[in-house]
Amino acid sequence: MRGRPLLYTSYEADQSMLNTTTKKVLLGLFLGFLVFLPFTGGAKSSGSRLFDFSIPIVGFLSSNDYLQLLATVCVFAIGALGLNLLTGVAGQVSLGHSFFMGVGAYTAVWLGAPQGPLLGMGLPIWIWLPAAGLVPAIIGVIVGPVAVRVRGLYLAIVTVGLVFIGEYVFRNWRSLTGGSQAGRSFQELDVRLWKEETPLIEISQNGDFLSTNGKGFLMLLGFLVLFTVIAKNLQRSRAGRAFQAIRDRDVAAEIMGVNEFRYKLIAFGISSFLAGVSGALLTAFLGRTIPERWDLILAVQFIAIILIGGAGTVSGTLMGAAFVVMLPRVVQNFTEWMKSAIDEGGFIATIADPIVVTSPTDGGIINTLPGVGPGLSVLQANQVLYGLLIVGFLIFEPLGLYGIWLRIRNYWKGWPFTY
Amino acid sequence: MTAAIPIIAQVAGGEGHFASALSEGLSLGAIYALLAMGFVIIFKATQVLNFAHGALSALGAFLVASFATLVNIPGRFLPETVPHWLGWSLSALFALIAAAAAGMLLERVFIRPMVGEELFAVAIVTLGIDIALRNVTNDFIGTDPRPLGDPWGTKVLDLGWITFAHTEIAQIVVSVVLVSAVALFFRSRTGIAMRATAFDQEAARAQGINVGRIFSISWAIGAVLAAVAGVFISVFPRRSAGVDTATAFFAFKALPAIILGGLDSVIGAIVGGFGIGIAEAFVGEFVTFPALGFGFAGIVPYLVMLLVLIVRPYGLFGTEEIRRV
């Protein structure tokens, strides 16, 4: 029976996470590449690396700032897996994801930050990370009963309210959060057994083989793989099927024996857990947070991740996280590239000229000048792009990037036939 | 216990505080009612929860500011003898027409293709519109607030025990007039068609109602209401300097008002709007625990909303959803 990709001889094989050899091989290669990446590129960067050569074409990704970007993708993907479970799989629209991330982040800060003028207990990561998930999960389950009673659009508005209430609390609880705009620092991914001086695994210093960002990236990638497996498994379990039944038609699900109240609470709890872990890791990795970080814009970013990626699909969520987190960098690089093209002149310059503003008197859409001038700043251009992408994907491709991938795959599967 | 003493002192301290909280609450409530009314109109006719309302209100206020001061239309064509208030009203009228056109355009381009899709998908589309439109509008506004050049200025009417800024009187009068006009509109021929569309789009179509036109009209009305609210957000005493980049976020505070009243209830929007506005103003005036920190009044609307939803998940006046398989 070997060599027939879609022939399954057991239920387990049909239901398995990687049900074809192609998937296994490609995923293995991709993960291998990601793990190998931070070890390369030693000659170019300041941090010491194991290898001096860099991988062709995508080798630029091994520089420290791109590793930081990739690590941020991992953290956002963890949070997005939670929102995907709640909104994509269980169908409960939540705009309050950033609130739960903030709660997780500040739980982690409280437990993990060293003692000082601000609240902190200096506990190791194996305590603060689970706690950063559990505290938001408990709050999620407490808020849950309100959320379970209201449905649909009312729920979306209630969760917006949570974000504003959370921001108010974060801004005013100065002994914990450092206060509005000031914030506090918390850089603590080192793994310790207890409060020893020398950690078991040291993330915060450049090592012999890896830079700080490389270590952080590998660690966060590990967490992402762990949570992806959990999320994927959950989706094909009894609970996952119950979530989908509630999403598709809640009354019908209840009649079939799904306890709606219980499963909605579970969905809220797990989603908040992942949000909290993601918020804590984001703070611990980037090293600093301000109360204004956990605002509505962040929540909308997460909605954008799951909608652009493809609501209800784990692989789509990962693609969406990569897309949304990397988009600002792409826009920035693209603008800089066009700017240099204008300086050089030629064919590209004639296209780039109306897009990029190069001098205060020049017209254009994107502004690269320091300070405020005509045209959108790169930050604003990103926001506008998020907005238009959400609208565009919902109108033209409701399945998101996953849907696009599905169409490409099916085209080549049947090629040269169209069916 | 010691923290409670200032409150008691203030309540006992005189009607000055009470009166200023009342006038503030009424004007705030008028703005919330206008915003909530816009949400409700669009929701009733098209079943769309319009998250882009804040962006529309900022856009509307910006249009008024531009027409009245920078572009100065129709002021530049009028003779000098025309009084300022008349010229400004004409500019505002032109700007409102432009805002209505913007609302209709948004509906035609982004919302019409989504007819028949899930409600939440359409709501998220409006969220996307909000982000894009808000950033573009804020870019036009720039870093400095744009003054509206309104004729009310900072004049205040003193009634002895209570003082109203002229803008506050204008807010209350305009919102009462507009809200009653909308309530009356629902009894007109188009209004009845709108209610029929809200009830069942297909059945309304079968009765010969032009559903697409109803959609356009409802978005135009919603955009105008949002723009009027945007104007009142950006004048004395709230933000005397004019429309700025924070104006667009104000509408999010009207969401509790529509939840309080119920998403599809016109009366609910009015009661919710004034209720939330007065609650916020009174809390801001009287509840001054140092422990509560800065900005507690700002989240009162959301706290009220959560409390109401625990008791009544469909708001005070909303239609309870009948759940059928």
Q: Which of A282, A312, A342 is the last residue of a domain?
A: A312
Q: Are residues A200 and A346 in the same domain?
A: no
B56: number of Cβ within 10 Å: 34
Q: Are residues A340 and A249 in the same domain?
A: no
d(CA B100, CA B233): 18
Q: Is residue B16 over pLDDT 80? A: no
Distance from CA of B325 to the nearest CA of A (A): 6
Please tell me the predicted confidence (pLDDT) of residue A298.
92
| Model confidence at B277: pLDDT above 70 | yes
Tokens of A296: 């509505």
A384, B136: Cβ pair inside 8 Å? yes
Task: Clarify whether residues A132 and A173 are in a common domain.
Answer: yes
Condensed to tens digits (0 to 9), the pLDDT of residues A116-126 reads 888 888 889 99
The arithmetic mean of pLDDT across residues B24-33, rounded, is: 90
A257 within domain boundaries: yes
Name all domains of chain B by residue range, CATH numbers in brackets.
4-311 (1.10.3470)
- The beta-carbon neighbor of A160 closest among B119, B132, B255 is B255
Q: Which of B129, B296, B313 sits opposite A150 (nearest CB)?
A: B313
**Chain B residues with CB-CB distance to A390 below 8 A:** 124-125, 127-128, 131
Task: Give the minimum alpha-carbon distance from A157 to chain B in angstroms, rounded to a whole number.
Answer: 7
Q: Is residue A54 part of a domain?
A: yes
Domain assignment present for A20: no
User: Do B131 and A390 count as a contact with CB atoms less than 8 A apart?
Assistant: yes
pLDDT tens per residue across span A181-226: 888 888 888 888 887 778 888 888 887 788 888 899 999 999 999 9
A133 and A63 both lie in a single domain: yes
Whether A279 has a pLDDT exceeding 90, the answer reads: yes
pLDDT at B126: 92
pLDDT(A104) > 80: yes
Inform me whether the C-beta atom of residue A386 falls under 8 Å from chain B C-beta atoms: yes
Residues of A in contact with B107 (CB under 8 A): none
Q: Is residue A8 part of a domain?
A: no
Q: Given the structure tokens 């959950």, which residue do they identify?
A: A234
Contacting residues of B for A250, CB less than 8 Å apart? 323
* pLDDT, position A86: 93
Is there a single domain that holds both residue A218 and residue A348? no
Position A372 pLDDT exceeds 80: no
Give me the number of domains chain A comprises: 2
- Is residue B215 pLDDT above 60, yes or no? yes
Chain A residues in contact with B295 (beta carbon < 8 A): 168, 171-172
Instruction: Kindly report the average pLDDT of chain A as a whole number.
Output: 86
Residue A33 backbone dihedrals phi, psi, to 5 degrees: -60, -45
**Cβ separation of A372 and B143 shorter than 8 Å?**
yes
Question: What is the per-residue pLDDT for B318?
Answer: 74
> For an interface test with A, which of B108, B307, B309, B320 has the most A Cβ atoms less than 10 Å from its Cβ?
B309
pLDDT in tens, B85-96: 888 888 999 999
B256 chain-A contacts, CB cut-off 8 A: 157, 161
A395 to B114: CB separation less than 8 angstroms, yes or no: yes
Q: Of residues B70 and A124, which shows the higher confidence score?
A: A124
Tens of pLDDT, residue by residue over A66-82, are 999 999 999 999 999 99
Whether residue A160 lies within 8 A of chain B, CB to CB, comes out as: yes
Mean pLDDT of B160-177: 85
Q: B295 vs A252: CB contact, 8 Å cut-off?
A: no
- The answer as to whether A185 is a domain residue is yes
Query: For chain B, what percent of residues have pLDDT higher than 70?
Result: 94
* Secondary structure (DSSP) of A156-184: HHHHHHHHHHHHHHHHH-HHHH--TTT-E
Question: What ipTM describes this predicted complex?
Answer: 0.85
* pLDDT the model gives residue A371: 59
Q: Chain A residue with minimal CA distance to B130? A: A387
Any CB–CB contact under 8 A between A146 and chain B? Answer: yes
What are the start-end ranges of the H helices in chain B?
Answer: 4-13, 15-46, 53-65, 84-106, 119-141, 166-185, 189-199, 201-206, 211-233, 255-261, 266-286, 296-311
- Per-residue pLDDT at B12 exceeds 70: no
Domain C-terminal end among A284, A312, A340: A312
Among chain B residues, the shortest Cα distance to A373 is held by B142
SS3 A135: helix
Which tens digits make up the pLDDT trace of A215-237? Answer: 999 999 999 999 999 999 999 89
Mean pLDDT of B122-150: 87
For A297-323, what is each residue's pLDDT tens digit? 899 899 989 988 988 899 999 999 999
Chain A residues closer than 8 Å to B259 by CB: 154, 157-158
In the block, tokens 């994801």 appear at: A97
A358 lies in the same domain as A301: no
> Which residues in chain B touch residue A145, judged by CB atoms under 8 angstroms apart?
310
- Residue B322 binned pLDDT confidence (cut-offs 50, 70, 90): low
Residue A157: inside a domain, yes or no?
yes
Looking at the fold, whether A223 and A122 belong to one and the same domain comes out as yes
Give the residue on B whose Cα is nearest the Cα of A398.
B121
Query: According to the model, what pLDDT value does residue B288 have?
Result: 73
Nearest to B137 by CA among A378, A298, A380: A380
* CB-nearest partner of A93 from B117, B120, B309: B120
A342: containing domain: 331-414
Contact with chain B for residue A172, Cβ under 8 A: yes
Question: What is the enclosing helix (H) or strand (E) of A301?
Answer: helix A296-309
- Report the percentage of chain B scoring pLDDT > 90: 29
Q: HSE on the CB side for A190, CA within 13 Å? A: 22
pLDDT average, residue stretch B296-309: 86
- Please list every residue in chain B whose beta carbon sits closer than 8 Å to the beta carbon of residue A161: 255-256, 301-302, 305-306
pLDDT in tens, A235-277: 989 999 999 999 988 889 999 999 988 999 999 999 999 999 9
Decide if pLDDT at B7 tops 80: no
Q: How far is B255 from chain A (nearest CA, A)?
A: 7
Pull the structure tokens for residue A314.
Answer: 């784990």
CA atoms within 13 A on the CB side of A133: 17
Neighbours of B203 (CB within 10 A): 11
Check CB contact under 8 Å for B135 and A391: no
Q: Note whether residue A32 is domain-resident.
A: no
Q: Are residues A47 and A186 in the same domain?
A: yes
Same-domain check for residues A210 and A351: no
pLDDT at position B2 is: 42
pLDDT of residue A319: 95
Residue A366 sits in the same domain as residue A307: no
A394 and B292 within 8 Å at the Cβ level: the answer is no
Residue type for position A105: A
C-beta of residue A164 within 8 angstroms of C-beta of residue B302: yes
Using a CB-CB distance cutoff of 8 angstroms, which residues of chain B are in contact with residue A150?
A: 309, 313
Record: contact A154-B302, CB cut-off 8 A: no
Average pLDDT, rounded, for chain B? 84
Give yes or no: residues A116 and A180 share one domain: yes
For the cut 80, the answer to whether the pLDDT of residue B273 exceeds it is yes
Residues A304 and A338 in one domain: no
More confidently predicted of A16 and B6: A16
pLDDT at residue A199 in the model: 82
- B303 and A93 within 8 Å at the Cβ level: the answer is no
The Cα of A313 is separated from the nearest Cα of chain B by a number of Å equal to 16
**Position A18 in a domain:** no
Q: Examine residue A416 and say whether the peptide bond preceding it is cis (omega within 30 degrees of 0).
A: yes
